[in-house]
Amino acid sequence: MVRKVLIVVVSSSLVWSCATFQPPPPSLYIGELPESLVTELSLDERILTEDAWNNLKQGRVKQAEKIIEKLGRESPFYYVGLGYASFILNRLNEAEGAFKQSLSDYPEMSAAHIGLAQVYQKTGRDKQAFIEFREVLKTDPNNIWMKQSYEDLRVRKTDQALDEAQTFFVQKDIQKSKRAYLEALFYSPQSPEAHLALARIYKGEMNFQNALIHLRAASENDPKNQDILKLYGEALFEAEDYPRSLEIYEQILERSPGDNEIKAQVDRLKNRLGIFELPSQYQAIPAAEAISKEEIAALLAIKFKDIIEEPRTKPPIIIDIATSWASKYILKITSLGILDVYSNHTFQPKKIITRAEMADILYRFINYLKGKNFAFIVQIPPEKIQISDVSPDNYYYQPILRIISYDIMDLSADRSFNPDLPISGQETIRLLNIILALIK
């Protein structure tokens, strides 16, 4: 009889024990208690909370719930604890509500974010789970379990979205393809594959603004990919953003100097933008005490590159400019008749220009600009101009008189022009800037 009683008692104990023990799901991860909130507890509250957490991790739900109820609703761990208890018992709706209430009261409760993420995963809401994982990693970036879970979900959902996008694209359902690629970017914002695919779609739709956004992102995330850079440069060119297109093509050329196709595109862009490869001699002009013929030719050609047209006639024969750094500028300016070639076909590029010769060059240039419908207004009546050191029968008298009347060059206090003095590079640039300002 005693033996039967003992068997009944033991059996009852085992039944009761089994009824209160619910092993947590194998994949369940119970987040750790935030230290910032634990330190605010009293010693007794801390002991109770840790005891409740240990019971949850061991699957003793009833014991955990009793302790949590003892802590009361005022405890920061009340709702998050109930959330894990409900999760273990597979009451997922209750778990979700408890975790959300915990986050409403304590937004920094990472354990609630972790629990909610697992509820979302178990109920097939991957996007919401991903958001919760990402939220935890903001405050706990070294959490190994979270990093792995986040990465596994990110890779799986990115690959899934990319596969769907490609399938839709093959089926010519472009709108669904775009949505799927954007979904891939939600999970992997730096995916060059998704950015590049979207860029190609938008480029095909002539939507260059969106195409350029994705091409820029793709090139930033895969900077060594020449194919992406080429597509980026091409899209910028088609969008008529020539300066940025040139910048991209120059990057490509720097990495592949032997690519003749890219080299040709760089040259085309430079020609379109009017960009010259300026030699060091040009940079030295402002410091020159006396300017030469080759230097004034270069200044005119470069400073007025947007105005001076390409010559329609064959350039004159010049026999002494083959070694001049400014030869191409000399040919252009002499072809337009702004500078002369001597009868023996020499130009004398190193010859120093006098003030009288400068007046003649500027007067010729002004007449050329007038022919292109630029207006020049006389500021000083020519009949009121008296020049003390240039007689009316001087070859340069009329050009000097006219250029003074436009108030571009002037006389000294004693009304002298000093026609035979050389003119500096800095003064020449000042005179050309005056003309440039008058025609703008």
Q: What is the Cα gyration radius of the chain?
A: 42
For range 309-337, the mean pLDDT: 89
Which domains are delineated in the chain?
Answer: 18-141 (1.25.40.10), 190-273 (1.25.40.10), 282-438 (no CATH)
Closest listed residue to residue 316, CA positions, set 327, 302, 301, 303: 327
Buried b (16+ CB within 10 A) or exposed e, 271-306: eeeeeeeeeeebeebeebeebbbbbbbbbbbbebee
Residue 338 tokens, joined: 């702004």
* Residue 22: per-residue pLDDT: 52
Structure pTM? 0.54
Structure tokens at 57: 């991790």
| pLDDT tens digits, one per residue of 367-420 | 999 999 999 999 999 999 999 999 999 999 999 999 999 999 999 999 999 999
Per the structure block, which two tokens stand in for 16? 């009761």
- Write out the two tokens for 320: 């002494």
Q: How do residues 236-294 score in pLDDT, each as one tens digit? A: 888 888 888 888 888 888 888 888 898 888 888 887 776 656 778 888 999 999 999 99
3-state secondary structure of 422: strand
Closest CA to 59 of 28, 31, 80, 38: 28
To the nearest whole number, what is the mean pLDDT of the chain?
87
